[in-house]
Amino acid sequence: MLPENLKKELQDRIAAVDHPRELVVDVLFALQAHYGFVTDEAVEEAAGLLGMTPMEVDEVATFYTFVYRRPVGKYVIHVCDSVICWLEGGRSLQEYLSQKLSIAPGETTADGLFTLLPVCCIGYCDRAPAMLINKKVYGPLTPETIDQLLDELREAH
């Protein structure tokens, strides 16, 4: 259940726009930040706030890569799965990440720390092969930089 202050904040934002639907992604991100992912309850709540049906909200939620409809780890690794990064060895680095974390793309490590989600171009082709971890960009990646980064994140936990 949404805390009253968050609900009020979202209601105020929605009331300030002519077309509440334009805020659906923003509302989903706010609910995701609160719940950790967009739960079924969050879909219902977003629909109620926006005057949409849960199905309409869910269509948006399942379309956007950065909206999570399933639980994710503390660190969500969005590794680029597009052509410029492929040309720079991105595919083998994806495999390396999978191997290092012992998970397949789409999965979360058993300790709940990392989720690996390949995505289309993240807009940092000049840093290929690249990835985002919780929206921070890393690249150009090598097995060594990946090792170092994962170690740092594990230590920071």
| Shortest distance in whole angstroms from residue 137 CB to ligand FES | 9
Nearer to ligand FES, 30 or 93 (CB): 93
Half-sphere exposure of 128 (CA within 13 A, CB side): 19
| Gap between the terminal Cα atoms of the chain | 27
Rounded to whole angstroms, the maximal C-alpha distance in the chain is 50
Among the listed residues 27, 52, 85, 150, the single contact to ligand FES using CB under 6 A: 85
For ligand FES, which stretch binds (CB under 6 A), given 26-34, 45-53, 79-87, 97-105? 79-87
What are the residues facing 53 on neighbouring strands?
none
Q: Which amino acid is at 111?
A: D
User: Residue 24 to residues 46, 67, 119: CA-CA distances in angstroms?
Assistant: 7, 11, 21
Under rule CB under 6 A, residue 119 binds ligand FES = no
Q: How many CB atoms lie within 10 A of CB 81?
A: 19
Under rule CB under 6 A, residue 132 binds ligand FES = no
For ligand FES, which stretch binds (CB under 6 A), given 31-39, 50-58, 80-88, 108-116? 80-88
Under rule CB under 6 A, residue 133 binds ligand FES = no
Among the listed residues 30, 130, 146, 150, the single contact to ligand FES using CB under 6 A: 130
CA-closest candidate to residue 32, choices 69, 62, 3:
69
What are the residues facing 98 on neighbouring strands?
none
| Shortest distance in whole angstroms from residue 41 CB to ligand FES | 34
Interface residues with ligand FES (CB under 6 A)?
A: 80, 82-85, 121-122, 124-125, 128, 130
